[in-house]
Amino acid sequence: MSDITKKKMEQIAQMWNARGKGLITHMALEIEEVSSEGVRVRMPFNPDFCVDADQTLLHGGILTALLDSVFGLANFVAIEGVSTMATLDLRVDYLRPAYSRADVIVRAHCFRKTRHIAFNSGSVWFEGHENAEIARGAASFALTRGGTDLFDAMTKGKTS
C-alpha cells in the first residue's frame, strides 16, 4: 500500500469506523489490503446471511451486497474529490454454491474512472480457496464531484 498516502489510509479507517449503523457495520467488514490496484476485504462468516436451516449456505444476495460495498470502497481509494457515489448498475455471476462457514474474501478494483462514471469489477471466494471463486461481479457508479467531500459527509454527518 505504499502508493496510498498515509492521510488516505487514515481517512478510510475513519470513514469505515464512522458507520455506526447500516449493512457494512453488520457485515463486520475488515479491510485487508488497499492500493491503487484495488482493495481486498474480509467478511467473517455470519449465520444471519444463510438460506438453509443448518446455516452453511450463504444467500447470493449477501455476496452481491458485499461486491457493491467493496466497489464503493475501491472507488473512494482510486478517485479524489468525489462528493457522492451511486450505483448505476450491477451484474453478478454466481459461479458456485456458497457452501462454507469460512470467511469470505473479496477483491475489487476500479478499472476505469471518468469525470462522471467509475467502472468496477471484483471476485469473491472463501478464505483459502482463491482458485474456486464463488462469485464475480461488475458495476458502474455515477460520481458527483465538488461540494462536500464524501469523506467529510461520512465522518461529520453533513448532507451533501
Partner 1 sequence: MDVQTANANVSRVPFFRFLNFEIRSLDNLHAEAEMTFDDRHIGNPVMEYYHGGIIASFMEATAAIAVQPDFADVPAKPINLTVDYLRPGVKGPLFARANVTRKGKRMASVSVITWQTDREKAVAEGLYHFLLV
List contacts with partner 1 (CB under 8 A): 18-26, 47-53, 55, 58-62, 64-69, 86-94, 97, 153-154, 157-160
Least gap, CB of 22 to partner 1 (angstroms): 4
Of the pair 62, 82, the CB lying nearest partner 1 is at: 62
Least gap, CB of 140 to partner 1 (angstroms): 10
Of the pair 5, 54, the CB lying nearest partner 1 is at: 54
Of the pair 34, 106, the CB lying nearest partner 1 is at: 106
User: Cell for 56?
Assistant: 452453511
Of the pair 5, 116, the CB lying nearest partner 1 is at: 116
Angle between helices 6-18 and 60-78 (to 10 degrees): 140
Provide the terminal-to-terminal Cα distance of the chain, rounded to the nearest Å. Answer: 30
State the Cα torsion 109-31-69-112 to the nearest 10°.
Answer: -20
Among all chains, which residue has been given the C-alpha cell 452481491? 64
Of the pair 1, 57, the CB lying nearest partner 1 is at: 57
Please state the three-class secondary structure of 49-112 as a single string: HECCCCCCEECHHHHHHHHHHHHHHHHHHHCCCEEEEEEEEEEEEECCCCECCCCEEEEEEEEE
Least gap, CB of 129 to partner 1 (angstroms): 19
Among all chains, which residue has been given the C-alpha cell 468525489? 82
Least gap, CB of 45 to partner 1 (angstroms): 12
Least gap, CB of 90 to partner 1 (angstroms): 5
